Amino acid sequence: GSLAVLDPALTDCRACPRLVAWREEVAAARRAAFAEQEYWGRPVPGFGPADARLLVVGLAPAAHGGNRTGRMFTGDRAGDTLFAALHELGLASSAVATGPGDGLTLYGVRVTSPVHCAPPANRPTPTERDTCRPWLARELELVRPTLRAVVLLGAFGWSATLPVLAAAGYELPRPRPVFGHGARVVLHDSRGRPLDVLGCFHVSRRNTYTGRLTPAMLTRVLADAAKAAGL
Ligand code: SF4
């Protein structure tokens, strides 16, 4: 398999009835209100090169962000914050992301999420999280030959991704590492290959608006991750 096969396959997934209904409802309502806007309204694949050394894992596409543009983290404030930081570190060709036609290129970094459809109130159910897990597991397997570090955004990204890493053969310490901004643990797979895992507050508008996550805090974690990944 390859990401060129996996990503298009993902966009046809209809495994979560509540999320299928929601993503289509949001898109239909907006299409009617703004006839000139093309609303994606489907699962949103990860974005970035197949030979990424660093994977940034969020929560799920936003109703009017990724669910609108069809590209992960693209089209809302959260994504603007993330891409600005990646650009500052030389990991993105531009700080501005508007849609698939904007020419944005990521260097050595792929961004994705454990849930690929926009959930109401940004809250997937545990069942939806578990139903979507195999997609992240396959994506991880495909980038794994080059992968050196992951940044997990928020407690959801952290707790949803650690089981995927464990299932992929990375040994988790016991007790399980706890999420926090700046949390960091180095895991090893069965062949002893290391993977740096870093926690970062989510780039959600709520976190950035309240100052819980400042641009400097985000850049710091991403810089540490990039260094660990050899970028
Ligand atoms: Fe499929 Fe994941 Fe969307 Fe559920 S959240 S419908 S598993 S792509």
**pTM for the whole thing?**
0.96
For 154-189, letters b (16+ CB in 10 Å) and e give bebbbebbbbbbeebebeeeeeebebebeeebebee
What number is the ipTM of this complex? 0.99
Is 187:171 a contact under the CB 8 Å cutoff?
A: yes
Task: Confirm or reject: Cβ of 164 under 6 Å from ligand 1.
Answer: no
Lowest-confidence region among 29-38, 128-137, 192-201: 29-38
Q: How far apart are CA 32 and CA 215, in angstroms?
A: 36
Q: How far apart are CA 68 and CA 63, in angstroms?
A: 7
| Ligand 1 centroid, distance to 122 Cα (angstroms) | 14
Tell me which residue has tokens 């260094």: 227
- Identify the CATH number of the domain defined by range 3-229: 3.40.470.10
| Ligand 1 centroid, distance to 70 Cα (angstroms) | 14
Task: Confirm or reject: Cβ of 115 under 6 Å from ligand 1.
Answer: yes
DSSP character for 47? B
Task: Confirm or reject: Cβ of 128 under 6 Å from ligand 1.
Answer: yes
- Helix ranges (H only) for 92-202 are 126-143, 154-167
What is the per-residue pLDDT for 36? Answer: 65
DSSP character for 120? G
Cis peptide before 177 (omega within 30 of 0): no
What is the per-residue pLDDT for 28? Answer: 85
Q: Give the pLDDT band (50/70/90) at residue 74.
A: very high
Whether 34 has a pLDDT exceeding 70, the answer reads no
- Residue 203 structure tokens: 């780039």
Residue among 57, 115, 122 to mutate when testing ligand 1 (max atoms within 8 A of CB) = 115
| Ligand 1 centroid, distance to 128 Cα (angstroms) | 7
Residues 160-210 pLDDT 10s: 999 999 999 999 999 999 999 999 999 999 999 999 999 999 999 999 999
